[in-house]
Each structure stands twice: as C-alpha cells, then as structure tokens.
Amino acid sequence: MKITFPDGSHKDYEAGTTLAQVAQSVGSRMANEALAARVNGSLVDLDKSLTGDAQVTFLTFNDELGKDIYRHSSSHVMAQAVKRLYPGTRLAIGPSIEDGFYYDFDIPERISEEDLEKIEKEMAGIIAEQIPFVREELPREEAMELFGKLGEDYKVELIRDLEDETVSVYRQGEFVDMCRGPHVPHTGYVKAFKLLHTAGAYWRGDERNKMLQRLYGTSWFDRKDLKVYLNRLEEARKRDHRKLGRELDLFSILEEAGPGLVIYHPRGAIIRTILEDFEKKEHLRRGYQIVMGPQMLKADLWKRSGHWDNYRENMYFTEVEGAQYGIKPMNCVAHMLIYKSSIRSYRDLPLRYFELGTVHRHEKSGVLHGLLRVRGFTQDDAHILCTPEQLNSEIRGVIQFVRDVMDVFGFEYEMEISTRPEKRIGSDEDWERATQALMTALDDEAIPYRINEGDGAFYGPKIDVKLRDAIGRMWQCATVQCDFALPERFELEYVGTDGERHRPIMLHRVILGSIDRFLGVLIEHFAGAFPAWLAPVQVKILTITDRSANYARSVAEKLRVEGFRAEVDLRNEKIGYKIREARLEKVPYMLIIGDKEADTGTVSVRHRELGDRGSVSFDDFVAGVRGEMFPPVIKHKEG
C-alpha cells in the first residue's frame, strides 16, 4: 500500500502496518513526538493498522489538535487516579480546554485544594505504569449496559442521547470511559502536568441538576513549557482585575445588589468616562451619528427580529400595563427603527449609528466573572446601513478603526471568521454572501484569519478580533457582523439610482466591545498601572509638613485647571509612608512639597517607575507631562 505524507512524498508499506510503525520509519523524532494521526481526513490512534493507500498526517504537540488529544488523554489519567482514590466516584465529562483540561465528577466526599497533591501523586504512578489506551467500538445498547453495570449513570444518560448506533470506549487498565478519541498510545506520554484548582459545576450546565466537582489541570509535552505556563498563571493571579479592582477602589460587585451587576466607584467611573469620551470623539471623526435607544422594547419587536426564537433564554422580560416588554440585550432593533423613521435614498448611505448602549443578558451565575462576564454592561455598539457596493469599504473601515484603537492600547491581535450556526435566520445564500464579504475585506487588508465553524451570530457571520495582552493571553473584544437577514425582517429600504426600492445591508460592530469587559482586560494588561491618560489619579501631591498645605492645595487647583486629575494627601504621616501608598495606588506622578518647594514655587517630582526626577518649576512640570495626560489623537486617512 502507498502512504502519502503532507509534503507530497510517499512510501510503500506492507498492508497491516500500524501508524506507530509508519511514524518510526519516518524517523526517531516523529516516533517520539507523534501523538495520533489524521488518515484520509479522520482522526485515529497510532495503534491502528492500515490496510490500503492513505493520506497520513501525524499530529504532535505543536499542532492544536495534537494539544487537544494530549490534554484529553491527561484528563483520563486524572479520572483514573480519582476513581482509584475515591471508590464510588461517578464520571461525567472531561474535555480538553485551552492550555489544559478538566473533569467533572460525582464524588462521595468533598475534594479540597489540599487533596490535589494526593491525586497528582496517583497520576504520576499511573503515568509510570505506561498503561495503553485501548479503543473498543460497541453497539449503543451494549455500551449502555456496560456503563450501567459500572454504576456510571451520567455516561448512560449521554449514550442514551446519542444518535449513533455505535459507541467508542477507551480502556486503560481497570479504567473505562466513553470517548470519541483518539488518545495518545499510553499513559506514559503525559510528561508534564499540574492540577490547578477545584470548582463546582452543574451537570450539563443546568442549575436544576446536581452540582458536581470539577477538577482543573494543565499538561505540557515539555517540563520547561509547564514551568513557563505556571509562572504565567502566577503573574495572572497578581494581575487579577477583581483583586486589583478592590485594591485600587475601582468597582464592586455585591451579592446584595445582584450577581453580575457592577457598581463603579469614583475612580472606576472616571476611567470608564475617559474611555467613553475617547470613543465618542473617534466615532464622530469617522462619520458616525450618536443615537440612543430605550432600555426595553415591546416583545413583538423581539419576535420580529428573531431574538425571541433564537436568544430568548439570554433575555429578561417584564410586563407594563398588560403588555410584555423585553429588556434589550442588543441595540440593533432601536437603530433599525431610527432608520425606518424616514425615507432613505442611496445618497444618504452609508448611515453609521453609534450608541454607548447599556444592555442586559441573562448569564448563569456559574459563568459570571468580575467585569469579564456580567449581566449588565455597556457596548460601544454601532450599526452601519449601506448598499452592496459600499459593503467592502465599510467592513474595511471597521477593521482599520479596530487597528487604530488597538495600537493606542498596545494590543497585538488576531482575527477569525465565525460562520453560520445551527440556530439562525436568513437564507443560506445570504449567509454565503455575507461570509464571502468578510473574507474579501480581510484579504484586501492583507490580514490573516482563522475559520471558527458554526459560531456566528444567529443573524449573520462575524469577524472576531482576539487581543493578546501583556502576558500572552487572548481576549475577544471587537467584532464586525454582516447581516442580510434583519433588514429583510424589518423591511428596511432605500431608493436606488434607478428610482426603485432596494434592501440595505447592515453591519453590527463594536470596537472595544463591552466597555466593562474591556476595562477588566485593561486592568490585567497594565496590572493596574494605567498609562497617565487613563489613570484615575494622574498626580498626587504629598506634603511633608502642615506648613506646606496651602501651597499643596494651590498646586492641586492649578493642575485641575490644566485638565489634570490631581489629589492632595495632607495627612500627618511620614513622607515615605505617603509615597509607598501612592505607588500602591499606581499613581503615575507624585509631587513632594515641603518648605523649600513652598518658598520657591517649585515641585519635587517622583515618577511611579522611574523614581525621583528632581525639582522643577510648576510650569516646567506641566509642560513636560502634558503630552501624557490626555487621550492620544489617532491619525487616520480621510474617508
């Protein structure tokens, strides 16, 4: 039989040769690093025998699929260890996730963080045993009987819901699990791992079901990579926006107020205000018109838009004078009503409506996470209504807007296109046109992208922008979505050059996305040490003695007149203590004022990172730092 490799080369083998033997023939490195393979497009284990000509691609830890297989195998090792240590444990699910894996268990006793070391020790023993992963395929009924006898009720429920008549299971010694696979050849392949923490998780994500115990872990092919990752996790813990939000007095989320509802304190609110003012200015410069819609609209509108059928579980509803209303989860419906308020001509288009719109979405309590996942948030939301001929330039304009703004904050980014999901509105033809429009725009901008199958919005495909922060983590913020369906449902029209009525195309887009989420990302990106233009307090005046209090107040007042955000610390404390506190508050500049400064009309400048910068006149200080204190002006092309 002839085996063809990804580079186009091929080699003849005896029928019955296993993939592991093929990998060995390629070379010792491939033999050591291959985890599984893709054969004629299908993922398979390395112990599979080949019986005819095939296209073969070996998967290693350098491949995303290889990482998934490696980490899913790691979750099986962890599950086997838990079953050994805690008899009576029932298995739920154990997938790979980004940088790691987890498994949900129904365990007779509570697992604490302290128990993880014991589980790790048992895992190390299982790895040392080099137990093979052995695949079996069973008829569906036989698989249900097998797991029923094992007392694995959750597995039986999963199998019952499958449509396939055949179920694959994997055995490793005494351990058996239902799994599509593939897996690494044996447990010894798991070279470097660490269990991270425990959490609660409802079975199938449903709050009405039993709460299970979820154990999280990470695994890497190389111990050095594991060490780097654990160091990054430690850095992430230091940067946690929830921790820094408390320390810097930015915001609070209180159970008595309601989960997922953010209360901004003065310092957090001023950062949000700076971001919002920056956004308004940049949108106006790009020809957007600011609009505002109500917080709730009649339910009939949400039925017409498709939200009722496709998004209702994420919405809140109320009743007013016998009529049902939906609290808005998105701003698009009101923007379409504004469009419909007048007869539109092709000469009016494109119309770009922008709103800093506060929306509410029902998120389950288990997924709420500080500012990053909330129930009420504000989006820098815009909807662009344009002709087919304008579509490409409008998509590219949004992409360029994103690029300009991300440069201001120092973010690198990647892009992906999410395609049509199962639940959707609109014709397949329109979905194809919309997807092609997004691809063409990215190609025209020479921006590489990935395809994320099936994750588009219910009304159209989208470009998602993934930001990379200071420690390498990816965050999804900006998006642009191409929508042919909602203009059709709301009968939006414009009069064309031919005097006939035509349907516009609508782009839904955000630049920062949720302002709340973006602020959380910024806090972690900058570790709370915002650039001076974003810092809630830009300058703190610290007095050495009470004698200089009046001069300190006058300096603060003059700074405020200049547009700087300044505070005065007049407390009767040692100056070293005041400096330390100001540094903990991440204030960019401190002005030390004593008798000498008061007598000479100067200020002694101290920088957050650079330390003592010497004594200068007030005017020289202002002139020297003015460029840092205000939002950058983005230079962009006209039109």
Positions annotated as catalytic residues are: 332, 361, 379, 381, 383, 462, 508
> Based on the number of CB atoms within 10 Å of its own CB, is 628 exposed (0-12), middle (13-18) or buried (19 or more)?
middle
Residues in the chain, how many? 639
- How many Cα atoms are found within 13 Å in the side-chain-facing hemisphere of 54? 24
> d(Cα 578, Cα 585) in Å, to the nearest integer?
11
Q: What is the CA 117 to chain-centroid distance, rounded? A: 30
**CB neighbours of residue 186 within 10 Å:** 18
Are 22 and 14 within 8 A, CB to CB?
Answer: no
Structure tokens given for 625: 């730092």
> d(Cα 411, Cα 390) in Å, to the nearest integer?
29
> d(Cα 493, Cα 487) in Å, to the nearest integer?
8
DSSP three-state, residue 97: strand
User: What single letter denotes the amino acid at residue 319?
Assistant: E
> d(Cα 354, Cα 405) in Å, to the nearest integer?
16
Alpha helices in 445-514 (DSSP H): 485-489
What φ, ψ does residue 556 adopt, rounded to 5°? Answer: -60, -40
φ/ψ bin of 34: left (φ > 0), alpha (ψ from -120 to 50), beta (otherwise)? beta
Beta-bridge mates of residue 531: none
> d(Cα 235, Cα 528) in Å, to the nearest integer?
13
The crossing angle, in degrees rounded to 10, of helices 223-239 and 515-525 is 120
What φ, ψ does residue 609 adopt, rounded to 5°? Answer: -100, -35
Alpha helices in 86-222 (DSSP H): 116-129, 140-149, 153-160
CB-based contacts of 8, cutoff 8 Å, min separation 6: none
> d(Cα 339, Cα 359) in Å, to the nearest integer?
20
Distances in whole angstroms, Cα of residue 523 to Cα of each of 241, 245, 276, 516, 617: 6, 8, 16, 11, 33
Structure tokens given for 162: 């499958």
> d(Cα 581, Cα 601) in Å, to the nearest integer?
25
Beta-bridge mates of residue 106: 90
The crossing angle, in degrees rounded to 10, of helices 391-409 and 428-444 is 50
Q: Is the peptide bond before 536 cis (omega within 30 degrees of 0)?
A: no
User: What single letter denotes the amino acid at residue 636?
Assistant: H
Alpha helices in 204-311 (DSSP H): 223-239, 241-247, 266-285, 299-305, 307-310
> d(Cα 2, Cα 56) in Å, to the nearest integer?
10
